[in-house]
Structure 1
Amino acid sequence: MGYRPLTQLVNKLRETREELPVNHKRVLRIMFQNDLLSHSYKKKTAKYSSYEGSQGGECKNHIKGRFSTDRPLQKIGTDVTEARFGSQTTDERIYISLFTDFFSGEILSYSTSLHPNTEFVLESLNPVLEMVKDVPYKTTIHSDQGTQYQSGKYHSALKKYKVKQSMSRKSSPCDNAPTESLIHQLKVGTVLNHRYKTQQDLEQAISNWVNYYNYKRIRQSNNWQTPNEMRNMYIQKYA
């Protein structure tokens, strides 16, 4: 946890004790003095790319960097990454497909597999499509130009639910920055700080982290609420 969200949690605790709040600079100084600042965000891992050239299924970039939205399930990002276990070889890795709501940062769905095929991506897509089918506005799902997203099955699934498809430009990860950032946070919370002996251990760690991220991790962009709290607050306001 960074010093800013930690400052919020510390001050909430101090408020229950009727104590004065502390400044974030003080929290930063204490964390620095005690070597409590995370260095994992500076670590780099090999980036998985599912791009295999043009398959004839490319789409325009309809997001164009406009990631912010004032309502849930209007703009959604997705990507595929890999995580390794055991001896960290290519024979001991799993692939992760996730979908995140740009409104709150919530991880709407994810799936894991030993094979990065289209079916594995559809497994995580289907729950999202069920969520968006009744929203009264258009949903856009944004991805890179990976072969799974260019497939006919993926196109058909989105078309069936009247979801607009958007794609980043080739070799432009900034076009899907919120999803790329979320994936790095997932790795910081798992494989960049831990080693897992088995596939089952790694998958359990991913499940634990997703639950923590959605229900416990406060975000400055959410007014210091968790992704789940942010979505529920919108539902309560407009129900």
Structure 2
Amino acid sequence: MAKTARARYTLEFKEEAVRLVTGGQRVAAVAKMLGLAEQTLHNWVKAAGSGGLTGTVVPKVSAEQMEISRLRTELARVKMERDILKKSGGVFREGVAVKYTLIQRHRDLWPISVQCSTLGVSARGFRQYVRREAGTDAAPAGQRVGNLALLTHIKAIHTETRGAYGWPRVWRELRRRHVRVGKERVRRMMRDHAIRARGQRKFKATTDSTHSLPVSDNPLNRAFRPEQPDRVWTGDITYIATQEGWLYLAVVIDLFSRQVVGWALGERMTRQLVIDALAMAWFRQRPAEGMIFHSDRGSQYASSDFQALLRRYGMRGSMSRKSNCWDNAVTETLFGSLKVERLHGMRFDTRRRAKDEVIDWLGFYNHRRMHSTLGYTSPMAFEEAWRRKESTLAA
């Protein structure tokens, strides 16, 4: 199929990427999280600073513009400090070791000096901490870690994941960091110190299947474990409440790695929302023709515009059976994790605030969150390991 000449990413995606950079995050970190080339993101930031993401010529910089640039830099630093405080949660109530652990985990996201200043610790002390921990994050192999040190590690993981992990995942994360400790000890320590994952809650469905549009068969038939990436994708829509009104999220998931390869956020649950999510996924992954795209029977997915896009991309449509949520269980599970682990109990005064949380969690989910179906590795780590293996076998 010939490649299209239109823009590779939706305008919303470009604006979100630029906003993350101007908010204080490093270009390299944002590019990695969103699957972009660093130069592409640099170009977007440059275009946005010159009046929009339209490729306009950058005018000669005046003294006034230089002052504006300086003020923007200062604003970016303030936003960065705000984001650090936001991610740190209740870390100010913890000891210095917890703060150092948090800084170490985010050293590729924010400058160490800014993190230390924001969290009220010295950069020199942090460097000494790193030297002490050099070679391992825990006690030597075979040596039992003390209760205070273990509690520090557990609190750090709980803070970093924003309370997403219960004791089974915390234990696995400790093992991944070379902390040798038993499951029962982790469970007991988290219980005794009231450290627990966010609670469950119920959510209503958003699918509107009461329409007269044609629907696809279900060739997927719950075969949720394809053998290669980009063979089966699945999509769905969910909602987030804000004081400005509903915010809707459409996602596209690769069933092989469970990675969110495309997404779109909007104020209305329209066919354009799911079209933008699929377009983002296709432009990022460029799958071969014949791939299956599975969804529910919602009018957005059954619309003629969306079905035309599937044909344009050479994809085969698949839809869940009527009133059978298990046929699209993977996306339902993703939304449940998002709402339970991150959004539950949060109140958003604006859609912008809700978008920030959703995008932050999607980056965490793809890059770091342990997935039980993938042997407790993250979606991107799972796919990267598979590709290394395939490359070795082909050599």
Specify the TM-score bucket, using the shorter chain as the normaliser.
Answer: 0.7 to 0.9
Letter in 2 for 1:72: P
Q: Deviations over 1:97-123 (max 9, x none)?
A: 001111111111111111111111101
Say yes or no: does 1:113 pair with 2:271.
no
For residues 72 and 2 of structure 1, the distance between their equivalents in structure 2, rounded to whole angstroms, comes to 29
Partner of 2:173: 9
Secondary structure of 1:64's counterpart equals coil
Partner of 2:241: 84
Say yes or no: does 1:68 pair with 2:220.
no
Asked if the contact 2:230–2:287 (Cα under 8 Å) also holds between the matched residues in 1, the reply is no
Out of 182, 195, 218, the residue aligned to residue 36 of structure 1 is: 195
- The structure whose Rg is larger is 2
More helix, by proportion = 2
Say yes or no: does 1:187 pair with 2:350.
no
Q: Deviations over 1:143-177 (max 9, x none)?
A: 00000111111111111121111100111111111
Partner of 2:15: none
For residues 259 and 284 of structure 2, the distance between their equivalents in structure 1, rounded to whole angstroms, comes to 13
Secondary structure of 1:54's counterpart equals coil
For residues 186 and 50 of structure 1, the distance between their equivalents in structure 2, rounded to whole angstroms, comes to 22
For residues 203 and 197 of structure 2, the distance between their equivalents in structure 1, rounded to whole angstroms, comes to 16
Asked if the contact 2:348–2:354 (Cα under 8 Å) also holds between the matched residues in 1, the reply is yes
For residues 46 and 223 of structure 1, the distance between their equivalents in structure 2, rounded to whole angstroms, comes to 30
For residues 326 and 184 of structure 2, the distance between their equivalents in structure 1, rounded to whole angstroms, comes to 30
Q: CA deviation at 1:9?
A: 1.4
Partner of 2:257: 104
Secondary structure of 1:190's counterpart equals helix
Asked if the contact 1:101–1:107 (Cα under 8 Å) also holds between the matched residues in 2, the reply is yes
Unaligned runs of 5+ in 1: 16-20
Asked if the contact 1:132–1:139 (Cα under 8 Å) also holds between the matched residues in 2, the reply is no
**TM-score (structure 2 length as normaliser):** 0.54
Q: CA deviation at 1:53?
A: 2.6
Letter in 2 for 1:129: W
Secondary structure of 1:111's counterpart equals strand
Q: CA deviation at 1:34?
A: 2.8
Letter in 2 for 1:183: F
For residues 192 and 134 of structure 1, the distance between their equivalents in structure 2, rounded to whole angstroms, comes to 35
The higher-RCO structure (CA 8 Å, 6+ apart) is 1
Letter in 2 for 1:59: S
Q: Deviations over 1:13-43 (max 9, x none)?
A: 345xxxxx32323322322333323252x21
Where in structure 1 do 4 or more consecutive aligned residues deviate above 6 Å? none
Partner of 2:278: 125
Q: CA RMSD in A?
A: 1.8
Secondary structure of 2:334's counterpart equals helix
Partner of 1:200: 352
CA separation of 1:25/1:65 partners in 2, compared to 1, >3 Å: closer, same or farther?
farther
Out of 374, 380, 391, the residue aligned to residue 222 of structure 1 is: 374
Secondary structure of 2:228's counterpart equals coil
Asked if the contact 2:234–2:293 (Cα under 8 Å) also holds between the matched residues in 1, the reply is yes
Asked if the contact 2:198–2:341 (Cα under 8 Å) also holds between the matched residues in 1, the reply is no
Q: Give the number of aligned pairs.
A: 227
Say yes or no: does 1:50 pair with 2:234.
no
Asked if the contact 2:262–2:277 (Cα under 8 Å) also holds between the matched residues in 1, the reply is yes
Out of 172, 196, 202, the residue aligned to residue 324 of structure 2 is: 172
Partner of 2:290: 138
Q: Deviations over 1:210-232 (max 9, x none)?
A: 01111111223223321111122
Q: CA deviation at 1:132?
A: 5.0
**TM-score (structure 1 length as normaliser):** 0.88
Asked if the contact 1:109–1:125 (Cα under 8 Å) also holds between the matched residues in 2, the reply is yes
43-52 or 60-69: bigger deviation: 43-52
Q: CA deviation at 1:196?
A: 1.4
